[in-house]
DNA sequence: GCCGTTTTCGGCCCGACTGTTTTCAGTCG
């Protein structure tokens, strides 16, 4: 996705937030947010394409974006940044705390950060604050804890975008360049990004001058560390060309994986470092990463498996699974259009799915329970008719008409069975009542699994990386129900969701659950998010047999029938 | 601020939940 779009969208989102905090008109706030969302999901790069063409962008926003592209900000944003203390914005990051309360806390109590709020609540200073009863204060403390847990890391979507931007910006100055570290291992939370390059040290000056660099932390001939405007730490290391493979191996990690490899080398009387695999002064392997593994007598271990969790022993016995690859996916079973909260038309989404070479593709817009999406049965059926018409243009792509149902507090869904029978595939997801206790939440999920029309539980934990923690459920019980009923668990590839998380994927697989790796796309470029879901699945050692949307249509069709 | 088989003004995604209130404000999806 074009980085310029993300940056302009982030600026508009910030402006919307500041505008709301200063008591601005709610409809204008929504306009800024809507434009931000549309720009972020726009398929073309707005640094070259006219931003006025983006739906939801009129003259006023276009002017702001144009100024932003020229100098990294716009006048009205600068003014509001002056007006609103950072502390007030920090407070609104806390789940359950909106602009009104944030302003009140700052103005009346001088509270300007989540830790300051926690302190104020614990000290009893807010016991008489209006609108903040005991329950609210308890919930806010919980929200502050959730926020603290996820701070200092970004999700893989942001980190990957930064890494690719860095590589693009330096490519003409280097002989070779790639990213390593936890990003190459496809972790869903990334603390810093490691980039390796073969280049002349003069590239460091070029790097320091890039527009994404907010602060230079250290800079030498071999290593430069900077902080980006997103707050992400970025390390660029120069390595000798002849040690490229060893350096990639070493800096990809994980630490635990590397310790096991070095121990193996030592037992053979060798030495493994970031410069190569050596026997005395003789180089056994160094330039090529795969050769290091083979000289150690190991199968090649794909980076997402390198966690020191048994992969080295398995590689020694030649028992590593053939993990799923992006090319194994035959389709996508969860996507949205502008009929509900997506930003692209049905035909545009379908056209991109066809380009991706899929055998099948499901459109799953929201059902009526999410009232704000204004879905009706008539609209859903009209969309189905439109999809059937589009089918004629795409003989190789089977178009499936699905829906994303809302699982209500008791485990019920939006439509009765006779209506659900009309759909080819039903995803069912939790969108509210996140704070239910474990028993209620578990019953809720099990009821959804037992619904004969529900095929896939969408983004099961509902976590949003950096924003909201997972719901609490007895996952073993849920997974047993899913396996028993033939209900798949989704691996939602939307990078801030990355949901199921990898440890739960492993647990679910242990119980015999199948998975669907979906994009949950709300825009055309989002269809490519599946690469993140595949990375997550690789980390859990999933094979094509575990993932229903790698299956040929006839096999998938049987699964979707849930034995009925 | 955007948009127009409602076209240059007057709408704009609407309802539920929570905790606080004593009739409702704030937040969320």
Q: How big is the CA angle at A211 (ends A210 and A213), to the nearest 5 degrees? A: 75
Q: Are residues A349 and A274 in the same domain?
A: no
The reported pLDDT for the residue numbered A101 is 87
In a domain, residue A142? The reply is no
Maximal C-alpha separation, chain A: 75
In a domain, residue A131? The reply is no
Q: Are residues A374 and A519 in the same domain?
A: yes
- Whether CB of A58 is under 7 Å from strand B: the answer is yes
In a domain, residue A135? The reply is no
- Whether CB of A316 is under 7 Å from strand B: the answer is no
- Whether CB of A333 is under 7 Å from strand B: the answer is no
The reported pLDDT for the residue numbered A396 is 95
Task: Report the CATH number that the domain containing residue A378 is assigned in CATH.
Answer: 3.20.20.140
Q: Quickly give A434 CA vs B18 C1' distance in Å.
A: 13
| Domain termination residue (choose one: A295, A316, A337) | A316
Structural domain tally of chain A?
Answer: 3
In a domain, residue A6? The reply is no
Q: Are residues A380 and A511 in the same domain?
A: yes
The reported pLDDT for the residue numbered A469 is 82
Instruction: Count the Cβ atoms, other than its own, within 10 Å of residue A205.
Output: 11
CA trace torsion A332, A334, A340, A341 (10° rounding): -90
Q: Which nucleotide is nearest to A370 (CA to C1')?
A: B29
Q: Are residues A176 and A256 in the same domain?
A: no
Q: Are residues A269 and A354 in the same domain?
A: no
Tokens of A298: 């190991």
Across A448-520, the runs of DSSP E, i.e. the strands, are 456-457, 488-492, 515-518
The reported pLDDT for the residue numbered A356 is 96
In a domain, residue A133? The reply is no
Q: How far apart are CA A384 and CA A265, in angstroms?
A: 60
Q: How far apart are CA A29 and CA A224, in angstroms?
A: 40
Protein residue at shortest CA distance from C1' of B24: A131
Query: Quick one: three-class SS letters along A530-547?
Result: HHHHHHHHHHCCCCHHHE
The reported pLDDT for the residue numbered A554 is 97
| Domain termination residue (choose one: A257, A289, A316) | A316
Query: CB-based contacts of A286: which residues, under 8 Å, 6+ apart?
Result: A242, A243, A244, A245, A246, A275, A276, A277, A292
- Whether CB of A379 is under 7 Å from strand B: the answer is no
Q: Are residues A280 and A426 in the same domain?
A: no
Residues in chain A where the model's pLDDT stays below 70: 1-2, 150-152, 564
Q: Quickly give A99 CA vs B21 C1' distance in Å.
A: 20
Q: How far apart are CA A520 and CA A490, in angstroms?
A: 10
The reported pLDDT for the residue numbered A150 is 65
- Segment (H or E) for A425: strand A425-429
Q: Are residues A219 and A262 in the same domain?
A: no
Task: List C-alpha distances in Å: A175 to A73, A245, A538.
Answer: 34, 14, 30
Q: Are A514 and A491 in contact (CB under 8 A)?
A: no
| Domain termination residue (choose one: A238, A258, A273) | A238
Task: Report the CATH number that the domain containing residue A253 is assigned in CATH.
Answer: 3.30.210.10
In a domain, residue A134? The reply is no
Q: Are residues A361 and A471 in the same domain?
A: yes
Residue of A96, A93, A99, A112 lying closest to A26 (CA atoms): A99
Domain coverage including residue A425: 326-560
Q: Are residues A247 and A229 in the same domain?
A: no
Q: Are residues A283 and A312 in the same domain?
A: yes
In a domain, residue A533? The reply is yes
Protein residue at shortest CA distance from C1' of B18: A136
Task: Report the CATH number that the domain containing residue A158 is assigned in CATH.
Answer: 3.30.460.10
Q: Which nucleotide is nearest to A64 (CA to C1')?
A: B1
In a domain, residue A404? The reply is yes
Q: Are residues A466 and A338 in the same domain?
A: yes
- Whether CB of A35 is under 7 Å from strand B: the answer is yes
Q: How far apart are CA A437 and CA A358, in angstroms?
A: 40
Judged by DSSP in three states, A1 sits in coil
Residues 261-290 of A with CB under 7 A from strand B: none
Q: Are residues A230 and A258 in the same domain?
A: no
């Amino acid at each position: 996705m074009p980085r310029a779009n993300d940056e302009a969208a982030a600026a508009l989102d910030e402006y919307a937030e500041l505008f709301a905090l200063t008591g601005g008109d709610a409809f204008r706030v929504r306009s800024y947010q809507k434009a931000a969302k549309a720009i972020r999901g726009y398929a073309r790069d707005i640094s070259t394409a006219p931003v006025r063409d983006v739906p939801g962008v009129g003259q006023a926003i276009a002017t702001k974006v144009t100024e932003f592209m020229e100098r990294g900000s716009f006048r009205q944003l600068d003014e509001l940044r002056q007006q609103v203390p950072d502390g007030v914005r920090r407070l609104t990051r806390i789940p359950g705390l909106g602009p009104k309360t944030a302003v009140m806390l700052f103005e009346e109590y001088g509270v300007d950060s989540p830790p300051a709020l926690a302190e104020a609540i614990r000290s009893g200073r807010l016991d008489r604050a209006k609108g903040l009863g005991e329950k609210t204060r308890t919930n806010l403390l919980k929200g502050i804890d959730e926020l603290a847990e996820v701070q200092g890391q970004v999700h893989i979507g942001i980190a990957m975008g930064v890494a690719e931007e860095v590589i693009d910006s330096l490519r003409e100055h280097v002989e070779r360049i790639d990213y390593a570290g936890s990003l190459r291992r496809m972790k869903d939370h990334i603390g810093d990004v490691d980039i390796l390059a073969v280049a002349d040290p003069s590239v460091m000056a070029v790097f320091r001058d890039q527009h994404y660099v907010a602060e230079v932390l250290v800079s030498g001939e071999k290593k430069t560390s900077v902080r980006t405007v997103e707050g992400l730490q970025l390390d660029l290391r120069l390595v000798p060309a002849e040690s490229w493979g060893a350096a990639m191996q070493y800096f990809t990690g994980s630490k635990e994986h590397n310790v096991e490899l070095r121990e193996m080398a030592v037992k053979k009387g060798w030495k493994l470092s970031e410069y190569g695999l050596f026997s005395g002064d003789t180089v056994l392997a160094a330039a090529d990463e795969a050769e290091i593994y083979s000289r150690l007598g190991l199968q090649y271990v794909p980076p997402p498996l390198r966690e020191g969790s048994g992969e080295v022993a398995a590689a020694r016995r030649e028992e590593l699974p053939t993990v799923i690859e992006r090319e194994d996916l035959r389709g996508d079973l969860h996507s949205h259009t502008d009929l509900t909260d997506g930003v692209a038309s049905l035909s545009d989404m379908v056209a991109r799915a066809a380009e991706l070479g899929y055998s099948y593709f499901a459109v799953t817009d929201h059902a009526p329970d999410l009232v704000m999406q204004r879905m009706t049965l008539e609209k859903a059926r009209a969309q189905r008719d439109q999809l059937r018409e589009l089918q004629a243009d795409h003989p190789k792509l089977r178009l499936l008409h699905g829906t994303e149902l809302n699982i209500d507090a008791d485990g019920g869904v939006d439509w009765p069975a006779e209506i659900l029978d009309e759909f080819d595939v039903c995803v069912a997801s939790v969108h509210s009542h996140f704070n239910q206790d474990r028993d209620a939440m578990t019953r809720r999920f099990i009821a959804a699994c037992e619904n004969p029309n529900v095929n896939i539980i969408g983004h099961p934990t509902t976590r949003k990386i950096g924003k909201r923690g997972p719901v609490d459920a007895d996952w073993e019980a849920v997974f047993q129900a899913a396996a028993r009923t033939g209900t798949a668990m989704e691996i939602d590839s939307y990078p801030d969701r990355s949901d199921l998380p990898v440890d739960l994927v492993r647990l679910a697989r242990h119980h015999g659950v199948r998975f669907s790796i979906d994009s949950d796309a709300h825009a055309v470029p989002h269809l490519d998010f599946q690469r993140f879901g595949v990375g997550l699945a690789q980390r859990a050692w999933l094979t094509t047999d575990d993932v229903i949307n790698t299956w040929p249509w006839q096999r998938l069709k049987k699964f979707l029938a849930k034995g009925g």
